[in-house]
Amino acid sequence: MTERQIRLFGDPVLKTVSDPVKPTDDVRGLVEDLVETVKVPGRAGVAAPQIGVNQRAFSYNVDGKVGYVINPVVVELSGEPELMDEGCLSVPGFYFPRLRYPSARVAGEDLDGNPIELSGTGVMAQALQHETDHLDGKLYIDGLEKGVRREAMRLIRESDWF
């Protein structure tokens, strides 16, 4: 288990649509690294592309619960979308408000291929939507309201890590 370095906005791995994990793929090491990497205090989720791997898996760390899912699919979003402050380890130092559903449910698999479901409200719902988007090559800043996005891009371009 290794805590892996987080890829930053601008890295093409973050814009690539990730491949489904096949039953023959050995992703145990990947999942262990995702879990280890999300355990760092202050982290809510890490998707495989963020550690440089374009395979469909992510880990989460919300309300003291740490876990992962392979081949996640959002199966339910409910409630009125509301503006939530959101950040991303790949866009460090920034939080911008964007619309998210207040309740979400994701279906996927564990390492043994058994079906699992994750669901939650609030930060968990936000994490489930945010991390699944990463697997489709999408960053949360892509979904910001136009004016907010323009300002976000300006601030990001001026940041010392960009």
> Which residues are annotated as catalytic?
131
Phi, psi (5° rounding) for residue 77?
A: -130, 130
Token duo for residue 31: 């999942």
Rounded to 5 degrees, what angle do the CA atoms 143, 136, 102 make? 50
- Total residues binding Zn ion (CB under 5 A): 1
**In the complex, least distance from residue 140 CB atom to Zn ion, rounded to whole angstroms:** 6
Say whether residue 30 binds Zn ion (CB under 5 A): no
Q: Could you tell me the CA-to-CA distances from 57 to 19, 96, 128 in Å, in that order?
A: 10, 25, 11
- Residue 19: strand pairing partners: 55
Determine the interface stretch with Zn ion among 76-84, 85-93, 100-108, 117-125 (rule: CB under 5 A).
85-93
Work out which of 48, 88, 152, 156 binds Zn ion, going by CB under 5 A.
Answer: 88
Least distance to Zn ion from the beta carbon of 14, Å?
8
**Smaller CB separation from Zn ion, 97 or 113:** 97
**Min dist. Cβ of residue 91 to Zn ion (A):** 7
Nearer residue to Zn ion within complex by CB, 112 or 149: 149
Instruction: Give the Cβ contact number of residue 2 at 10 Å.
Output: 10
Cα dihedral angle (86, 133, 67, 11), rounded to 10 degrees? Answer: -80
Residues binding Zn ion (CB under 5 A): 88
